[in-house]
Amino acid sequence: MERLVSSSEAAQILGLSLQGVHYRIKQGKLKSKKTDGKIFVYLDDTVIKTKQISNNKDNLDNLLIVKDEQILFLKKSLKWMKKQYKSEINRLEKNQDKIVEVFQSEINLLQSAFNEMRNIYQISDKLNSTSSNNEKKESFEFRMMDIKDFFIFMKQNNKSDMEIKSIILDRIKQGDKRFIFNRQTKEVIIYKSDFIDLI
């Protein structure tokens, strides 16, 4: 059975241009009818249905192609986002490690300063208690001594450089409060004394 459609509909159904439809009408390959200045084309129902099925298949194929492209795009986007996420996590972990390192360094400095102050006050308390117990002794002024002065003093008492170095190391190891080693600055702090026990 045939159906009457407009020339533009015929072009769409047959997959032709409008000129292609008119050319086929002139050649007698398509039956047509002219009404009110418009051209209509007779098409067989089976041709229309076949073309619709074909068009639907083409549309489905196009849809599948678009779907595959979308999936590929989403996979690439997901991969990029994972990479960015890992990069950000690594950056934050490095910053966290640096912050912890800075805090640990500050804690170590504070601990060292606290230990030095505690040692100084312990020596001061010890000296104050000995001077109050022994009234005959002169009052002791609590001051530091330069290491060069200590060497000069010990050399005046017939000690060699090696003996002096050995005395300092032994006193530090034995916890003598007159000799303090600053681990941060790598300096030896010596507090004034008569050093009779070392001569």
Going by C-alpha positions, the residue among 90, 123, 116, 134 that lies closest to residue 187 is 116
Going by C-alpha positions, the residue among 172, 170, 175 that lies closest to residue 187 is 172
Does residue 130 have a pLDDT over 70?
Answer: no
Percent of the chain beyond pLDDT 90?
A: 4
- Distances 170 to 118, 159, 173, 174 between C-alpha atoms, Å: 21, 15, 5, 6
d(CA 10, CA 21): 7
Token readout for 88 is 């950000």
Residue type, 14: L
10 three-state secondary structure: helix
pLDDT at 137: 42
Confidence label for 135 from pLDDT (cuts 50, 70 and 90): very low
d(CA 117, CA 131): 21
CA dihedral 20, 24, 30, 32 (to 10 degrees): 80
pLDDT in tens, 68-104: 888 888 888 888 888 888 888 888 888 887 887 877 7
- Which position has the higher pLDDT, 106 or 139? 106
The DSSP-derived string for 123-149 is HHHHHHHHHHH-TTSPPPP--EE-HHH
Residue 33: half-sphere exposure toward Cβ, Cα within 13 Å: 8
If you average pLDDT over residues 181-192, what whole number do you get? 84
Going by C-alpha positions, the residue among 166, 157, 168, 161 that lies closest to residue 191 is 168
d(CA 158, CA 154): 7
d(CA 192, CA 179): 10
